[in-house]
């Protein structure tokens, strides 16, 4: 991993962690908008392969921004650093460490091999596809209402660091993907530091009927929603 990439990933680590918390925590109309099982109107979805992903995004423009493929091995230091941070952190409410750990990029080290990543030039936007969701990931998506009711507002402080974080999440369903997905949502995540600085990010995701997932990370709600739609189209997955 290059020094620049490492810096970018580490600077965004807590932000990505917070954004991804939404993947296991949405209390907004989850029963009606994000069914656990496909409805009769759903249809089979083509499986996304590494070759499909590369053809769709390697040096291609999506919504005017050029994407390049990032080797998924570059995620390992980020996941390892985040695991270390969470293991040393004081998290409130108690028990939300599991939710935060699960939602750090939505990955554990064992799941990196089933992950594909593309990164844009400007503004920084990431497309992450999980080609085979683990049982842990599916369980996390299914338990999102329970997790958010407990962990939607979380504070985190780390030993040796003189400031803490307040993480707040708002969630709203994304319409139009009902026939190809089990869930689709946009998450608005704000982070406030005790030092007075703050951060803001968004995640748009689809949990596909075939238990693959497409997630878009960025700093603009309109861009992540538009990129999600464009990425789905580029991968040959049609909406209703």
pTM recorded for the entire structure: 0.79
Q: What is the pLDDT of residue 127?
A: 93
Task: Name the phi and psi angles at 156, rounded to 5.
Answer: -140, 130
User: Could you tell me how many residues make up the chain?
Assistant: 240
pLDDT in tens, 115-161: 999 999 776 789 999 999 999 888 888 877 677 778 778 888 876 66
Region 6-28: mean pLDDT is 37
Asked if residue 215 lies in contact with residue 203, where contact means CB atoms within 8 angstroms, the answer is: yes
Q: Are 216 and 224 in contact (CB under 8 A)?
A: yes
Which tokens hold the place of 98?
């599991």
| Residues 231/127, Cβ–Cβ less than 8 Å | yes
Query: What tokens were used for 113?
Result: 């091999």
Rounded to 10 deg, the angle between the 76-88 and 13-21 helix axes is 80
Domain ranges of the chain: 45-233
pLDDT of residue 74: 86
Q: How far apart are CA 126 and CA 124, in angstroms?
A: 7
Per the DSSP assignment, residues forming a β-bridge with 205 are 185, 215
Range with the poorest average pLDDT among 36-50, 80-94, 195-209 = 36-50
Tens of pLDDT, residue by residue over 184-194, are 988 877 888 88
Q: Which of residues 93 and 168 earns the better pLDDT score?
A: 93
């Amino acid at each position: 991993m290059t020094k620049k990439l490492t810096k970018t990933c580490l600077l965004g680590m807590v932000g990505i962690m917070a954004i991804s918390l939404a993947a296991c925590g949405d209390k907004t109309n989850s029963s009606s908008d994000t069914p656990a099982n496909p409805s009769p109107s759903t249809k089979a979805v083509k499986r996304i392969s590494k070759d499909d992903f590369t053809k769709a995004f390697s040096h291609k423009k999506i919504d005017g921004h050029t994407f390049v493929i990032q080797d998924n091995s570059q995620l390992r230091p980020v996941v390892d650093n985040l695991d270390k941070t969470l293991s040393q952190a004081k998290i409130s409410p108690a028990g939300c460490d599991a939710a935060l750990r699960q939602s750090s990029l939505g990955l554990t080290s064992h799941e990196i091999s089933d992950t594909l990543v593309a990164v844009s030039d400007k503004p920084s936007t990431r497309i992450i596809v999980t080609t085979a969701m683990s049982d842990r990931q599916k369980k996390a998506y299914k338990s999102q209402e329970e997790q958010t009711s407990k962990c939607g507002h979380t504070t985190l402080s780390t030993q040796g660091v003189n400031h803490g974080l307040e993480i707040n999440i708002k969630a709203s369903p994304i319409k139009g993907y009902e026939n190809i997905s089990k869930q689709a949502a946009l998450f608005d995540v704000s982070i406030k530091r005790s030092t007075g600085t703050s951060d803001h990010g968004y995640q748009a995701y689809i949990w596909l009927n075939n238990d693959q997932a497409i997630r878009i990370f960025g700093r603009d709600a309109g861009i992540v929603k538009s990129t999600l739609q464009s990425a789905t189209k580029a991968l040959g997955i049609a909406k209703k």
